[in-house]
């Protein structure tokens, strides 16, 4: 695989065509070594428009979703970021390239350690990896400028958004398949948030995420 050409094609054919116009995001996606974060057996699919499987039923989101997330969050060099769901470590790498510091939580130890090795190999040292259940966020260290949730939430409570600072942004996918919605939530005041619907997508839920009760007749 011609890596440089694959990255170029990904940006031009997937990312730009999905309304990603932020030059910082486009340049980052074109230089980011996504193939170094994909499991070896899926390396040839590193830049494909698909969810790449990981262990434990987890996935890497498609590149266009990652890019739209970054564009919506408007990550700044001074931002403190919480990522819930480290996975392969690739989104962690992207966030770390733009932010001041990233804390990333992962419930599966093997995924966390694999991500640690990949991030160290790419010299992403402004990252703290935290083994634990992030389904209710990470109150220790809050408030955060940005929270990025890389697994879906069938039901969204207030845990994440209350861990934002005033002006902070939350990216989260809400709902259950086949009807999931990516949202950007901004905290505008102590008890006020503004929610923007971004796009529809489908990704696996966070482990232990609350679900709506099922009705049995």
* pLDDT tens per residue, range 2-51: 999 999 999 999 999 999 999 999 999 999 999 999 999 999 999 999 99
**3-200: CATH architecture:** 3-Layer(aba) Sandwich (3.40)
Assess whether pLDDT exceeds 80 at residue 213. no
pTM of the model: 0.95
Assess whether pLDDT exceeds 70 at residue 114. yes
Structure tokens at 82: 């919480």
Burial zone of 213 (CB within 10 Å; 0-12 exposed, 13-18 middle, 19+ buried) = exposed
**Predicted local distance difference test score (pLDDT) of residue 46:** 97
Which residue in the block uniquely carries the two structure tokens 């116009």? 21
Gap between the terminal Cα atoms of the chain? 54
Percent of the chain residues past pLDDT 90, beyond the cut = 95
* pLDDT tens per residue, range 151-192: 999 999 999 999 999 999 999 999 999 989 999 999 999 999
C-alpha span between 188 and 80 (Å, rounded): 17
Torsion-angle region of 100 (φ positive above 0: left; ψ -120 to 50: alpha; else: beta) = alpha
């Amino acid at each position: 695989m011609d890596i440089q050409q694959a990255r170029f094609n990904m940006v031009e054919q997937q990312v730009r065509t999905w309304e990603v116009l932020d030059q910082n995001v486009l340049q980052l996606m074109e230089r980011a070594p996504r193939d170094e974060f994909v499991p070896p057996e899926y390396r040839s699919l590193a830049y494909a428009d698909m969810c790449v499987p990981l262990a434990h039923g987890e996935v890497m989101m498609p590149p266009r979703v990652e890019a739209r997330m970054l564009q919506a969050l408007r990550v700044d060099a001074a931002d403190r970021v919480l990522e819930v769901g480290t996975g392969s470590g690739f989104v962690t790498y992207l966030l770390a390239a733009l932010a001041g510091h990233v804390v990333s939580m992962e419930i599966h130890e093997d995924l966390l350690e694999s991500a640690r090795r990949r991030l160290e190999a790419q010299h992403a040292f402004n990252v703290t990896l935290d083994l634990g259940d992030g389904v209710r966020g990470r109150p220790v260290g809050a408030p955060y400028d940005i929270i990025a949730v890389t697994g879906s939430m069938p039901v969204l409570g207030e845990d994440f958004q209350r861990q934002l600072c005033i002006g902070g942004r939350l990216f989260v996918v809400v709902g259950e398949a086949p009807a999931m919605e990516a949202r950007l939530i901004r905290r505008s005041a102590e008890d006020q948030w503004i929610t923007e619907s971004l796009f529809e997508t489908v990704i696996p839920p966070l482990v232990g995420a609350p679900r709506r009760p099922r009705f049995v007749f």
